[in-house]
Structure 1
């Protein structure tokens, strides 16, 4: 099902796309400005301003945003990154493709990282904590920020499902060392495909940029400062950037609509025996894209899901860790000797059985 942003497509997106086509190029590089596509840069500047970050890097997917950010942060072989057991598989895959190890931690009833369990997973190899703001709701960023500061760890926010959300008044994606976003068609706002990275650290930005653009300095201007990394071609295209820019301008409108729909839905459902809404660390900061209910009894949850034609969160194989391939079956394609593994033995296997989500589309 397309995300709410898709339902707000209109004249603005069409006009921007036609402006790109009228210029007869659709890649990142404008003919008159090598290395700096007009619409990509316009989107990056607008996103940095909207979210209050010093730097924004547009990329071709949320997964690419995660990989570029991890590279920018210097995560690599021998490092451990703590990731929640309920996430999207890209959160784990990005860590593994950097040669690091993903260490799974428990979630609390917000469906985001449980800080107490994160503390128990920290080892001398831990380099970063990756809070994933699932289903539009912020993680417990106060506690996770305190943990990161206490242990000298990096904090990488995966905001793929929470564009426009906040925590204590600060935009998600700006509370850590870097934040990553997705713009695919399931997300709050969309360019049908794409993503971006936010950071205030110029070195993180330079390294991420270098990796996403075959080793060039930002905008292919040799500053002589930073690390040139032999990278890949992960740039956001001009057509996608043009759509993303129009969608970014509608973000508050999209959020206002889905929050209103969610509140009306929650009021209509009311209070039910044996059922409660998930905990929110900052109710004012959630996106409102999903109404999540926690059932005391797993069979009750499965029965309700079947009646509604939906499923429990346990049955989401790309989000619940238990649906992923077994430990040791993940291979880095370029070099099997650098295989990374998931430490999955610590996660409560029954946690997802009694959870049910109802997606808010904005209709």
Structure 2
């Protein structure tokens, strides 16, 4: 093998990998044209305007048709989608919601913003929630489970859904990082009780911000529709809603998607199949060759390896934190930046969550007098504590060329072989 770049050798690549913004790197004239049409029509508000373009409606209809889910609602962000989903379910003060230990802080943060309290479930070697660990964190105050397919890898949904049915609780799918992911042929976000999507800058498709909620349940959808629009239910005929406001209206907030956002995401949605196909193709080529060269190399497990993951990130599990740090440092020098998630810490280690601090009086809603108090300890999810800092993620852009893929294979092999030589990994 050639000398490592970090030790003065020639880097495997002459320039860094494309930025880790899958949707943004394929943005083009299509998004600009539709957004311009909305702007030049002086009609950025979806519900009324001089010349409505119905961009948000077109996005919702396209998502509904492709994912085979009858009700989709555009909202302002992924966080908004989680809040709207939980408010649709009636989750609030005095409730607990199970959240995976490996997720972005927005997931437990949204629970707190709904005046409920997150309880954290450990993960398995998929880096997602471990269904076998659910019983350990469940009690009678739990009203829902949020599952999060991390970085394009599906959650093992069958045992999650079976557990939820036994306990009569809801399942919210937080698909923020994994738009297009599937599990046994069904799109993530359409399997549980309600799905939440994000179109923020880092996401698979993007408008910079934006989100969506999806469900098969009309009553649940009406509550989502009302909550996201100040308690109103506009365009009832579009959804087949006939409930009178006098009887069904309640106080909501403003999480309405603008038609400018709708226009951009609608054009991005059209590109999703090509984005996913490209990422999967590169992911499989890199993973297959690395597995052939290094049979001992451990990759994060995919619960649906025959078609579930979207290939946005290749997860390599190293034997130790030390090995992972050295791997990431060496990969960066080769112009192939890999990274660990969330500073190597579980979500409950976020200071505000761990110390149960909010902007409200008496740290509401953490002050609820639960029969079984919610207490967070540093070591309460041991698998997450072990695996998160040992997993290096290699981002796979949809714009990678065959040469890029070859350089990634050679560069990763060079770095991994060096770790072998240093006995940080073993054959």
* TM surpasses 0.5: yes
SS of equivalent to 1:102 = strand
Partner of 1:312: 340
Q: Whole-Å Cα distance in 2 between the matches of residues 43 and 144 of structure 1?
A: 29
Query: Which is worse superposed, 288-297 or 345-354?
Result: 345-354
1:233 to partner: Cα distance = 1.1
Cα deviation, residue 12, structure 1: 1.6
Q: CA deviation at 1:153?
A: 1.0
Could you say which residue in structure 2 is the equivalent of 1:249?
Answer: 270
Aligned to 2:394: 358
Cα shift readout 1:103-139 (whole Å, capped 9, x = no counterpart): 0010000011101111211101111111111111111
Q: State the secondary structure of the residue aligned to 2:44.
A: coil
Q: Quick one: which of 24, 31, 36 aligns to 2:42?
A: 24
Whether the 8 Å contact between 2:76 and 2:255 is mirrored in structure 1 is: yes
Aligned residue number for residue 328 of structure 1 = 355
Normalising by structure 1, report the TM-score. Answer: 0.92
Residue of structure 2 in register with 1:166 after alignment:
182
Q: Alpha-carbon deviations, 1:3-50, whole Å to 9, x = none?
A: 2111221222122112112211212233269xx871111111111111
Cα RMSD (Å) of the superposition? Answer: 2.1
Map 1:41-190 → 2, pairs under 5 A: 41-190=57-206
Contact 2:43 2:53 in 1 (8 A): no
- The separation in 2 between residues aligned to 1:347 and 1:122, in whole angstroms, is 14
- Quick check: which has more Rg, 1 or 2? 2
**Superposed displacement of residue 339, structure 1:** 2.6
Q: Does structure 1 residue 285 correspond to structure 2 residue 298?
A: no
Task: Write out per-residue CA displacement over residues 40-67 of structure 1, whole angstroms, 9 at most, x where no aligned residue.
Answer: 1111111111111111110010000000
In structure 1, runs of 5+ residues without a counterpart are none
User: Aligned partners of 2:53, 2:256: CA distance in 1, in Å?
Assistant: 10
Aligned residue among 319, 327, 332 for 1:296:
319
Partner of 1:344: 376
- Gap runs ≥5 in structure 2: 1-18, 333-337, 368-373, 401-427
Deviates more, 1:302-311 or 1:133-142: 302-311
TM-score for both structures, normalised by structure 2: 0.79
Does structure 2 retain, via aligned residues, the 8 Å contact 1:314–1:355? no
Bigger Cα displacement from structure 2, 79-88 vs 221-230: 221-230
- Deviation (angstroms), 1:280: 0.5
Encode CA deviations 1:265-293: one digit per residue, 9 max, x unaligned.
22343343763011110021111100001
- Are the counterparts in 1 of residues 357 and 363 from structure 2 also a CA contact under 8 Å? no
